[in-house]
Amino acid sequence: MALLQIAEPGQSPDPHKRKLAVGIDLGTTNSLVATVRSGESVTLPDEQGRHTLPSVVRYLAEGGPEVGHDAYAQAVADPFNTIQSVKRLMGRGVADIKKLGDELPYRFERLDEGMPYLSTAAGVKSPVEISADILRTLQRRAEDSLGGELTGAVITVPAYFDDAQRQATKDAATLAGLKVLRLLSEPTAAAVAYGLDEAAEGVIAVYDLGGGTFDISILRLSKGVFEVMATGGDSALGGDDLDLALANWLVDQLGIAAGLGSADARYLTEQARSIKERLTDEPVVETLLAVAGVEKRVCIDSDQFGELIHDLVARTIRACRRALKDAGVSVAQVQDIVMVGGSTRVPQVREAVQQFFGKALRIDIDPDRVVALGAALQADVLAGNKPDSDMLLLDVIPLSLGLEIMGGLVEKLVPRNTAIPVAKAQEFTTYQDGQTAMAIHVLQGERELVDDCRSLARFELRGIPPMAAGAAKIRVTFQVDADGLLNVEAKELSTGVESRIQVKPSYGLSDTEIERMLKESYSFAQEDLVLRNLREQQVDADRLLHSLEQALIEDGAALLTPAEREVLQAAMMQLQELRAGSDHRAIESGVKALAAASDEFASRRMDASIQRALQGHNIDEIEEGR
């Protein structure tokens, strides 16, 4: 009867209660939130019935920020305080921002710190904080609409995002108080939105031309499993660049010299975007432009526009070819081409893609919403609402991970397109007699020189005993989780001296910074913070207890001796008692203790489930493998 005591009503999460989970497409231009309702994935509108939220945040001297349509409306009038396309700055260093140059009409601050901070009327803001403000707005919308607190969210990122960009996105979610069930690549989300309805099998190409990024992914779909075979693209090429190409042409047509103010530049970009959108349906567009004291009627036809964007589109096709090669499939093997992102409405883009693949394109789901819809489907599964679902999304890392070695070269430990999660270890040695420390420089990218790759982190392994050069053995382990986030660990093998870090981009936010920002963002008093901590620990305790109860029911008799069972149940009772108290630290250590006590049981269950998966096959086959 011990089990019944453990599962007292109201103390364990009710397994039958549906969890509220959402999919969030945190886009460069627009963001969306979607959820699964009565088995169908739907995007959630705001109070005015608008589904897309412009990814625009305007900071005011007083009061909270404006997010979305209101902010967007003020973008031209208040350019420095109104931040658009912040996704382009996520996980970026100052050097990257300088490369973008005049395209970003913001005031940057603290350029010496490596990470770009923006100066606004509400103070200095990091891209992570700005993204968190967008996420908060979507979270509030979802909670209002669904009538409860969210269990978690699947947030989409471009497949081509490197570790720094993914980490920044996850930090933004943490800052907004959202539990991230998974960072999912946008193309995979899009394929899910299409794939599940049609139960397709085969190779799918997802061509995703978003506002600020271009991704091409090659996926294999088989019995509900979406496997990313290869991914490629360009994280600094998007629909915005089509607008920009057209805006530059407009500047030429108007005969305005360089040195436009940022408000004028915005005006022209807006006009360019609207002309681009009109050209989707109209062969010729004529507009009256009035900027910088010049007024002129400008006319452009779709062929002219096609010429302006030709090189940009050709770049995307080159990336498609390379992704197919990486995946080891031919153009003819691709069965479906899924189009994602508003810019895939541009007829010249569609033509080029259709011509390259030689097949009709999938355009029946709104290309602006398809990513959020797919993310919501996965969030529903990950929250535990569909225990029988076979759906599984297997991802790869988009860019190789490596270490700096002698001569400014990069040694790759995990090549691009490796399936994640992954763990890779390699041994290095000292190169000087008596060397007691080793600098570890973690890089991401395809090039051979350190200077051409993205520096993710540097740390030092100290306390190596002095030995002759080449005698010490240092094992460096890279672990990439299912979100594509990296952990690095270095260990001197003879002494066991260890050093491990969660890789944070050199210019990213540190954990303490995030914690400080979190605290600052709480408008409530200190007691509330304590309560929040307590509730978080209680949820953790419940989750662990609940999983163990289930595990005991399923496998307790088969995998544990009666004595082991008793020990485990005693440990569970202990946590149960701690959980009833109000000391969040005690609950936290209780969770750790129970987790340690049940480690062996959890391992045995994994092994048993492997055996079960292999059963049903020829027993001799398995025996032979022994």
Q: Which of 46, 133, 171, 208 is catalytic?
A: 208
Q: Contact, 608 vs 615, CB < 8 A?
A: no
Whose tokens are 């797919």? That residue is 374
Sites for other proteins among residues 176-215 (CB under 8 A): 181-182
- The count of other CB atoms within 10 Å of the CB of residue 573 is 14
CA distance 320 to 306: 19
Q: Which is nearer to other proteins, 271 or 538 (CB)?
A: 538
Based on the shown chain and the rule CB under 8 A, indicate whether residue 453 belongs to the binding site for other proteins: no
The three-state DSSP-derived secondary structure of 515-527 is: HHHHHHHCCCCHH
From 43, 269, 479, 537, residue interacting with other proteins (rule: CB under 8 A)? 479
Rounded to a whole number of angstroms, the minimum distance from the CB of residue 455 to other proteins is 22
Question: Of 360 and 613, which CB lies nearer to other proteins in the complex structure?
Answer: 613
Q: Residue 17 or residue 519: which is nearer to other proteins going by CB? A: 17
Number of shown-chain residues binding other proteins (CB under 8 A)? 54
Catalytic status, residue 473:
no
Which one of 157-165, 255-263, 300-308, 541-549 is the stretch in contact with other proteins (CB under 8 A)? 541-549
What Å distances lie between residue 345 and 191, 239, 363, 483, CA to CA? 18, 10, 9, 30
Q: Is residue 126 part of the contact set for other proteins (CB under 8 A)?
A: no
Span of 1-9, 78-86, 207-215, 412-420 interacting with other proteins by CB under 8 A: 412-420
Residue among 377, 29, 442 at smallest CA distance from 182: 377
Choosing from 510, 547, 582, 589, the residue that interacts with other proteins (CB under 8 A) is: 547
Binders of other proteins in range 144-183 (CB under 8 A): 151-152, 181-182
Neighbouring residues of 161: CB distance < 8 A, sequence distance ≥ 6: 91, 169, 185, 235, 398, 484
- Return the range that interacts with other proteins (CB under 8 A); candidates 165-173, 254-262, 269-277, 597-605: 597-605
Helix (H, G, I), strand (E, B) or coil at 205: strand
Among 280, 502, 510, 603, indicate the residue that binds other proteins (CB under 8 A). 603
Q: How many residues does the chain have?
A: 626
Closest listed residue to residue 456, CA positions, set 168, 231, 237: 168
Half-sphere exposure of 201 (CA within 13 A, CB side): 2
Residue selected from 421, 471, 501, 555 as contacting other proteins according to rule CB under 8 A: 421
Asked whether the beta carbons of 494 and 157 are under 8 A apart, the reply is: no
Q: How far is the CB of 528 from other proteins (least distance, A)?
A: 25
CA distance 222 to 242: 36
- The answer to the question of residue 394 lying near other proteins (CB under 8 A) is yes
Is 351 a residue of the active site? Answer: no
Decide if 23 contacts 33 (C-beta within 8 A). yes
Whether 427 is catalytic: no
Residue 17 makes contact with other proteins by CB under 8 A: no
Q: Kindly name the residue from 129, 162, 171, 186 that is annotated as catalytic.
A: 186
Q: Select which of 46, 66, 87, 380 is catalytic.
A: 87
In this structure, what DSSP letter does residue 553 have?
A: I
Of residues 378, 521, 513, the one with CA closest to residue 36:
378
User: Which residues, listed in sequence order, are joined to residue 499 by a DSSP beta bridge?
Assistant: 490
Smallest gap from residue 389 Cβ to other proteins (A): 10
| 205 CB-near residues (< 8 Å, 6+ apart) | 216, 217, 218, 219, 320, 323, 324, 334, 336, 337, 338, 357
Convert residues 264-303 into a mask of x (bound to other proteins by CB under 8 A) and - (unbound): ----------------------------------------
143 in catalytic set: no
Site string for other proteins, 19-48 (x = CB under 8 A): x-----------------------------
Active site residues: 25, 87, 186, 208
Q: Catalog residues that contact other proteins under the rule CB under 8 A.
A: 19, 151-152, 181-182, 222-223, 225, 227, 318, 321-322, 325, 378, 381-384, 390, 392-394, 418-424, 479, 481-482, 540, 543-544, 547-548, 595, 598-599, 602-603, 606, 609-610, 612-614, 617, 621-622, 624-626
